[in-house]
């Protein structure tokens, strides 16, 4: 004599398995996308540290000193150097247009002159200590 409980219970087990999978997949996709975004922002932030070091170097060396560096910023990220008011002392990491991290230059407070510069991709940047209207700061340009 055959036991039919396994045959009759199979559709119910498949339904339960599908419900579990359908609940887990969206959260796994979200976690994966969030991890990639956080990883890219972290990589861009390490490039910011390299740029802050270059700005410190030319600022301490004095008027007219220059330095060039290569940076590599992940796709989807941008770094905005300088700006207006307090942003003139910052480098901001953006991901898909949203500011994710702001780094202020400290000891000394270095002002980035010449307006905001948006950096993306893998460019070569030139940092130069300049004076505009009696204000010393660092100007960043593409090479």
Residue 69: C-alpha distances to residues 3, 8, 44, 82 (Å): 75, 69, 15, 17
- Distance separating alpha carbons of residues 83 and 30, to the nearest angstrom: 33
Query: C-alpha 37: how far from its chain's center?
Result: 8
Q: What pLDDT is recorded for position 28?
A: 79
Per-residue pLDDT of the chain (143 residues; tens, 9 = 90+): 556 666 667 777 888 888 888 888 888 787 777 888 888 999 999 999 999 999 999 999 989 999 999 999 999 899 999 999 888 999 999 998 899 999 998 878 899 998 899 999 999 999 999 988 888 999 999 98
- Distance separating alpha carbons of residues 29 and 52, to the nearest angstrom: 35
Domain ranges of the chain: 5-142
Coil, strand or helix at 107:
coil
Q: Which two tokens stand for residue 61?
A: 């060396």
Q: What pLDDT is recorded for position 4?
A: 66
**pTM greater than the 0.95 cutoff:** no
């Amino acid at each position: 004599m055959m036991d039919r409980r396994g045959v009759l219970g199979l559709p119910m087990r498949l339904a339960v398995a599908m419900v579990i999978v359908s609940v887990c997949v969206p959260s796994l996709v979200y976690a994966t996308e969030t991890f990639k975004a956080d990883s890219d922002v972290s990589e861009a932030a390490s490039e910011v540290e390299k740029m802050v070091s270059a700005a410190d170097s030319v600022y301490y060396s004095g008027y007219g000193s220059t330095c060039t560096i290569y940076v590599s910023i992940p796709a989807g990220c941008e770094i905005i150097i300088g700006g207006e008011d307090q942003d003139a002392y910052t480098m901001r990491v953006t991901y898909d247009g949203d500011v994710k991290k702001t780094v202020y230059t400290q000891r000394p407070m270095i002002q980035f002159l010449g307006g905001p510069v948006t950096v993306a991709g893998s460019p070569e940047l030139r940092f130069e200590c300049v004076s505009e209207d009696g204000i010393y700061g660092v100007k960043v340009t593409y090479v």
